[in-house]
Amino acid sequence: MSKHAMSLLPRWCSRVFSVELNGAPFYFAVKEKHLGEDVPRVFREVQNRDKCYSVLVYCSRDRIKTAKFYGELKDKLLRDLPPECRLSPMSSFLPKVRDSLVKGYFLKGNSDTSSPIERLLSDLIQHDPVLVCSYSPAEDGQQWMQHMWSETASQVMDVAKGYYVVPSEAPEYHPSTLNIINSDVFYSFDEAYDVMKKCGDIIPEAKAVLELLPSRVEARNKPDFPVIVIEGLDATGKTTLTESLKDTLGATLLPSPPECLSPWRARFDQEPPLIRRAFYALGNYISADQIGLKGTKTPVIVDRFWHSTAAYAIATAVSGPVCNLPGEGSEVYCWPSDLFQPSLVVLLTLDPEERKRRLRNRGQGKTDEEEELDHNQLFRLRVEEAYRRISGPACVTVDASPSADRVLQQVLLLIRGKCHL
Ligand SMILES: Nc1ncnc2c1ncn2[C@@H]1O[C@H](COP(=O)(O)OP(=O)(O)OP(=O)(O)O)[C@@H](O)[C@H]1O
Ligand SMILES: Nc1ccn([C@H]2C[C@H](O)[C@@H](COP(=O)(O)O)O2)c(=O)n1
């Protein structure tokens, strides 16, 4: 067993394991002794002929490689496992311990598929940063046990002995919330920059992005004019409103991410969250630099800014209902201390049916995330709630269902009240 995997062991019995079946999480823990606990739900429906396995990707010191490998692992498992084998997202974590989450997959096969599955897992454990366990009924035929594999053997081998699997309570918040800070959301230029810099060796485009970054993090000038950010889900009317505000106020309109990043955006959208979110976070610092420049001459309207970066990242990292999000007031929703704060942030909200109607009428192709927003009601609700929970500055919600002109008038009122324009 590698030294990284060994480092997970001392608190192995304090870890909680989560397996997501059809979008719902099932939790279990492991114990050295059995005290008459029930069989966890994940194993209750497993037949005796079935065999289950877990593959967890532990964090090596190279976070970039780990993040890339996690994405590639799913493709590899889907490609190489027998088609009858069922693959579910899995994680393991220490409750309330930050950065303790390790992610992976839970595999369910049967006696016909166990040989090819075990061959694949044996190969993985010898070449990749994974910790493999298998699960089988205990001698009494009632309980289930977890056996940790050793990388030196190409067959199942328990380290010390097997552990009993027992049910565990659901944590207060989704386990992914433990690892959000500086993996999904970055709270300083340096943290996001560090990720992009480390990407330079494996993603040539990262070097081009680094060259576009401002030399100073603080906006070069403090704008004399108000800076207004317009936020909202796709097709809530941001483009329509920002164009009108530009004309009405004689303002400068800045899109976000900034135009200079457009050539690289599609490339970074394919990357795992760590890299993709670092790209968007850095985009905000470029925007802040541009705001500093333009805001000395005219008011500035910005189409999306940090609220979007954080809200989409948090809502993607966490799955399930809104109550799985980090609680209101969590540090996850804090504004980065080194990022320019706009004078006003307006969040446009729209009834989902009307939003779909506008999307249909607009008739453009949809990005993967727009598809997700369309089909996954829970994702949409999580993004909107995360928007509302972000503070410093918090956003002011405006109902975007009236006519474009009415929405404009409503937002102008807000701007005049808040920014004395
Ligand atoms: N208040 C409104 N009433 C009716 N239709 C509107 C209104 N505002 C915008 N629309 C229409 O809805 C569609 C989406 O608007 P728009 O492109 O401004 O949204 P968006 O938030 O910028 O979208 P995206 O983030 O995907 O670029 C467009 O066809 C636009 O003409
Ligand atoms: N400042 C920004 C702007 C955008 N994003 C991300 C969030 C979504 O993934 C996507 C939405 O952009 P659109 O499709 O409306 O162009 O871009 C961000 O993270 N930060």
The answer to whether residues 164 and 183 belong to one domain is no
Q: Domain count for the chain, please give it.
A: 2
300's tokens: 């500035």
Q: Is 375 helix (H, G, I), strand (E, B) or coil?
A: helix
Rounded CA-CA distance 146/135 in Å is 5
The answer to whether residues 245 and 109 belong to one domain is no
Ligand 1 centre to CA of 358 (Å) is 6
For residue 257, whether the previous peptide bond is cis, meaning omega lies within 30 degrees of 0, is yes
What's the pLDDT at 1? 66
Rounded CA-CA distance 373/131 in Å is 34
Ligand 2 centre to CA of 420 (Å) is 29
The DSSP annotation for 211-244 comes to HHS-SSSS-SS--SS-EEEEEESTTSSHHHHHHH
Ligand 2 shell residues, CB under 6 Å: 234, 256-257, 280, 283-284, 304-305, 308-309, 312, 367, 369
The answer to whether residues 325 and 358 belong to one domain is yes
pLDDT (tens place) for every residue of the chain, 421 residues total: 666 677 777 788 999 999 999 888 999 999 999 888 999 999 988 876 788 999 999 887 889 999 999 999 999 999 999 999 999 999 999 999 999 999 999 999 988 888 899 999 999 998 888 999 999 888 888 899 999 988 765 454 555 568 999 999 999 889 999 999 999 999 999 999 999 999 999 999 999 999 999 887 766 678 999 999 999 999 999 999 999 999 999 999 999 999 999 999 999 999 999 999 999 999 999 999 999 999 999 999 999 999 999 999 999 999 889 999 999 999 999 999 999 999 999 999 999 999 989 988 887 666 777 777 666 889 999 999 999 999 999 999 999 999 999 999 999 999 999 987 7
The answer to whether residues 104 and 191 belong to one domain is no
Structural domain boundaries enclosing 359: 178-419
Can you give the CATH number for the domain in which 202 is found?
3.40.50.300
Ligand 1 shell residues, CB under 6 Å: 232, 234-240, 358, 361-362, 400, 403-404, 407
The answer to whether residues 251 and 298 belong to one domain is yes
Rounded CA-CA distance 135/158 in Å is 11
Interface ipTM = 0.98
- Which residue among 144, 171, 198 closes a domain? 171
The answer to whether residues 283 and 363 belong to one domain is yes
Rounded CA-CA distance 217/82 in Å is 51
The pLDDT tens digits of the residues spanning 333-373 come to 999 999 999 999 999 999 999 998 998 888 766 677 777 76
- Which residue among 171, 205, 237 closes a domain? 171
- Which residue among 147, 171, 195 closes a domain? 171
Pocket test for ligand 1, best of 242, 244, 353, 358 (most atoms within 8 A of CB): 358
The answer to whether residues 250 and 301 belong to one domain is yes
What's the pLDDT at 110? 85
By the 8 A CB rule, do 152 and 307 touch?
Answer: no
The answer to whether residues 146 and 244 belong to one domain is no
Sheet holding 227-232, edge to edge: 252-255, 300-303, 227-232, 344-349, 396-399
Pocket test for ligand 2, best of 231, 268, 304, 370 (most atoms within 8 A of CB): 304
Exposed, middle or buried by CB within 10 Å (0-12, 13-18, 19+), for 48? exposed
